[in-house]
Amino acid sequence: MSLKGNLEMKISNALMHFEKEEIGRGAEEAMAHIFKDMIIVRLKKVLTPAEKRLAQSPEGRKTIKEFRYMLEDVLRSKLEAIIEDIVKVKVVSIHCDISTKTGEYLMVFVMEKDVESLFKE
């Protein structure tokens, strides 16, 4: 496996573990991709049983999104530390969104420099 692929796998595993520790339920699957100065992570099936019930109504979906945004804000420094520890590049910003329809959670980490170019073989 390439260094880039190895780092993508480490990021996927670390964020699955993070979800389990901080939310109480980890994603069933995670995929991370390093692309230029971004790290894009897709976590699948992250909704808790309570969130799945809430997602059945428009107000519930809104509540889930608001809760996840607040949680991301509180845990931002931990997320930054996880990514920075693995790739050794500073995180500039984090953008997240959750789909209450599919239970997928997307994270985009914008990095201080082009991470992909550091791992060209």
Q: Can you read off the two tokens belonging to residue 23?
A: 């939310």
Domain ranges of the chain: 3-118
Q: Which residues of 21-44 are buried (b: 16+ CB within 10 A; e: fewer)?
A: eebeebbeebebebeebbbbbbbe
User: Which CATH entry fits the domain spanning 3-118: 1.10.3470, 3.30.980, 1.20.120, 3.40.1710?
Assistant: 3.30.980
The overall average pLDDT reported for the chain is 94
Q: The tokens 């991301």 sit on which residue?
A: 72
Q: What is the pTM of this model?
A: 0.92
Residues 33-88 have pLDDT tens digits of 999 999 999 999 999 899 999 999 999 999 999 999 999 999 999 999 999 999 99
**pLDDT the model gives residue 119:** 75
pLDDT at 105: 95
Whether the predicted pLDDT of 121 surpasses 70:
no
